[in-house]
Amino acid sequence: MFLSLSVLVSCGRSAKSRQKDEKTLVEFISHHEAKVQPLDKAIQAARWSYDESGSREDLERLDSLKRQRSRLLHDERAFSYLEGLRTSGNIHDPYLQRQVECLYREYLPCQAPLALQDSILTLELSLKSQTLNRIVDPEMRHADDVLRNSTREKELQEAWQYVKSSGKEMGDALAVLVRLRNESARFLGFSNYFDMTLFLEEQDGVCLDSLFSELEQGTEAAYLSMRRRMDSIWFQGKVFDTASLRPWHLRGKFFRLGQRSYGTARDKYYQYVSMENVVMRFFSSINLDLSDVLGRSRVSGEMVFLPFLDCIDMDRNRDVRIIGHLSGTENDMQMLLAMVGEAAYYKNISNTLPYLLRAPASPALVCGVGSFFARMAAYPNWVLSMGIFSAGQACDIRGTTLRAMRQDQLFTCRWWMTVYYFEKRMYEDPDVDLDSLWQELFFRFLRIEPGKDRIGHSDWAMENYFSFHAVQAHNFVLGELWASQVLAHLCQDDPRMGRDSNPNVVGNGRMGTYFKKYVFQPGASLSWQELTVSCTGKPLSCEAFLHQFAE
């Protein structure tokens, strides 16, 4: 009897302790949101203004607001409280548990010395500004157009050399940034910045390496076969020989959603349609109304500073906008579909969730949603149903669109694995010979022979990725795998969708409802791994991607 009474008293104290901790946590979260929410909104507004104007004043305002946020979260007492609460086991409410985890990972990187954070932020903004100014430079834009569209060997080589000619200066600046980031990560208890970023995104480096190793092996034969076919066309029937390949034969810079295919025969069809209207009609047909988003956006032919498209969630309260320039190509349609897909994600996160959880589960999920919808432009059934091509034209281009998508996916996944392993090694050992490492990985994944046609030092640094998307290559790969796995699940669940190579999606309201319920509405209340299992029935794997593009 006395033992039972002791257990009851102990349980009563534990319950009271949990209630007290949860009540204190709710007060902490409320105080945090009151300070951070208006600052987050101001940062997104400044980001929009800078993307629109490119002015020095807007950049400085964005810089100032980000510094304010870093200082606000540089609170040792608050971080110590979250750190203790995270391991105490006293928070049983799942939504509160999840918010503790989100808060901990939000506060953690801001515990580095403020002077070090300021140095990193200054260099990051400077590199981004330099890169954007370089992109919008008329000569650089002309070189990019040549690399994507020309088939003349000398013209391609000259354009490639121009694009890569100033890599030394950018490479030196990036090397400094790598060391500063590593210093910050080591202060916080991590071996390097790469490992810290994976932790903050709830990623496991060992699992990523295993997944990417399987993807590398699984795409090897298909990639080489595709290269032989393309190189046979390029070299006019000559025997495939990696020694004959040059970097400019890869069509220049890579983009998140893949390479532009050889030739632009399909581009002419997009010059006669209103892309915004096509995309709006498509999303409406699948029960996702994005007309308010496009109404607030600045896209189409309007000249804004940002030369590509960007999706911004202004306030986590369904004010979502897209900004950027469209020039009327198939690639633009892919990008617009991706950005509107991401906007659908932001807009449809449940507004009953707490502020901290009204965000995507992970950058990988944002990439996955964007990739899923970007692929629509490659499906013959989609372009025919949306009236972009006539029935006869759709029949003529059926093979070219599917072949181009397969080509783009194989290029893209192996390109991003090149970047992933390059950055991983760069942060592990900043003193490694980065130029040689870049060439070695280029050969390993893309079959460009090391040492061939090196333009100069640090030509890798001229890739826009390093200024805009540091340590995000893994998310782009995961996003492509996720998009294939979700499509395979949908096709298996609904036979009316047909095959994953050319699904019937236009007018499929069930698909939009699926995305709302299982992908969008949970927000950050689940980790991305939990959400993937919830919406597809199994953890993320390479199986569906390899079936769709490598078999």
- Please provide the DSSP assignment of 291-313 as one string: HHHHHH-B-TT---S-SS-EEEE
d(CA 492, CA 485): 11
pLDDT for res 138: 81
What is the token pair recorded at 447?
A: 């079959």
Position 247 confidence tier, pLDDT thresholds 50, 70, 90: low
Stretch (H or E) spanning 505 = none
Q: What would the pLDDT profile of 209-231 be if each residue is shown by its tens digit?
A: 999 999 999 999 999 888 777 66
Per the CB < 8 A criterion, the answer to whether 467 and 346 are in contact is no
- Which residues, including other chains, have CB under 8 Å from residue 501's CB and lie 6 or more apart? 402, 548
Q: What is the mean pLDDT of the segment spanning 507-528? A: 96
Q: How confident is the model at residue 517 (pLDDT cuts 50, 70, 90)?
A: very high
Cβ atoms of residues 21 and 85 within 8 Å = yes
DSSP per position, 353-369: S-GGGSS-S-HHHHHHH
Q: Which residue has the higher pLDDT, 422 or 225?
A: 422
- Taking the CB of residue 110, how many other CB atoms lie within 10 A of it? 18
The pLDDT value recorded for residue 28 is 97
**What is the pLDDT, as a whole number, of residue 13?**
52
Of 88 and 152, more confident: 88
Q: Which pLDDT value is given to residue 340?
A: 96
Residue range 59-67: average pLDDT?
93
Q: Provide the token pair at 14.
A: 């534990």
Name the H helices within 165-250. 167-187, 193-200, 205-234
**Is residue 262 over pLDDT 50?**
no
Q: Which two tokens stand for residue 236?
A: 């006019």
Look at strands 310-313 and 320-323 and give their pairing.
Answer: antiparallel
Between 242 and 14, the more confident residue is: 14
pLDDT at 127 over 80: yes
Residue 461 has pLDDT above 50, yes or no: yes
**pLDDT-based confidence at residue 244 (cuts at 50, 70, 90):** low
Structure-token pair, residue 246: 């040059």
Answer whether residue 239 shows pLDDT above 50: no
Please, what is the end-to-end C-alpha distance for the chain in angstroms? 69
Residue 342 token pair = 């991401």
- Which residues are CB-neighbours of 148 under 8 A, at least 6 positions away? 251, 252, 260
Least confident range from 111-115, 262-266, 535-539: namely 262-266
Percentage of the chain lying above the pLDDT 70 cut: 86
Q: How many CB atoms lie within 10 A of CB 372?
A: 25
pLDDT value at position 232? Answer: 61
The answer, yes or no, to whether residue 5 has pLDDT greater than 50, is no
Positive or negative: CA dihedral 446, 449, 455, 460 = positive
pLDDT attached to residue 403: 81
For the chain, the average pLDDT equals 86
Q: What is the pLDDT of residue 395?
A: 66
Give the residue with greater pLDDT, 488 vs 393.
Answer: 488
Mean pLDDT calculated for residue range 350-359? 96
Strands annotated E in 241-335: 310-313, 320-323
Which residues, in sequence order, are bridge partners of residue 321? 312
pLDDT above 50 (res 41): yes
Cα–Cα distance between 323 and 254 in angstroms, integer?
Answer: 21
In the chain, the domains with their CATH numbers are: 205-549 (1.10.1370.30)
List pLDDT tens digits, range 45-58.
Answer: 999 999 898 888 99
* 167 pLDDT more than 50: yes
Mean predicted confidence (pLDDT) in 487-498: 93
- Alpha carbon of 125 to those of 50, 133, 147, 488: distances in Å? 12, 12, 27, 40
pTM of the predicted model, to two decimals? Answer: 0.91
| CA proximity to 322, closest of 365, 276, 255 | 276
